[in-house]
Structure 1
Amino acid sequence: MSTISLKITDETFAGKILNEISIAVSTEHLTVKDIIEARVNAEVTEYNKKLPEIYRGLVQPKDAEVALNGFRVKQRAFVDAEKQVYAALDAFQKNGFFVLIDNKQAEALDEQVFVNSNSAVSFIKLTPLVGG
Structure 2
Amino acid sequence: MVTVMVRDETATGRAVDSWPLTGLPERISARELVRLRVREEVARFNAAQPRHFRGLVQPTDTEATLNGYRVAPGRRLDWEAQADRACAAFSHNGFLLLIGDHQVDDLDEEIDLRSDPDVAFVRLVALVGG
Shorter-chain TM-score: which interval? 0.7 to 0.9
The one-letter amino acid paired with 2:81 is K
Number of residue-to-residue matches in the alignment: 126
CA distance in 1, matches of 2:68, 2:3: 23
Could you tell me which residue of structure 1 aligns to residue 68 of structure 2? Answer: 70
- TM-score normalised according to structure 1 size: 0.87
The one-letter amino acid paired with 1:31 is S
Are the aligned partners of 1:6 and 1:117 in contact in 2 as well (CA < 8 Å)?
no
The one-letter amino acid paired with 1:72 is R
What is the Cα deviation at residue 37 of structure 1? 0.5
Are the aligned partners of 2:57 and 2:89 in contact in 1 as well (CA < 8 Å)?
no
Query: Is residue 2:98 matched to residue 1:100?
Result: yes
Structure 1 residue ranges (4+ consecutive) displaced by more than 3 angstroms after TM superposition: none
Query: Is residue 2:48 matched to residue 1:50?
Result: yes
What is the Cα deviation at residue 4 of structure 1? 1.8
- TM-score normalised according to structure 2 size: 0.88
1:64-117, CA deviations, whole angstroms, 9 ceiling, x for partnerless residues? 222234222133300011110000001111111110001100010110110139
1:6-26, CA deviations, whole angstroms, 9 ceiling, x for partnerless residues? 111111121101121221233
Equivalent residue for 2:2, pick from 1, 4, 9: 4
State the identity as a percent: 34
**Cα RMSD, aligned residues only:** 1.8
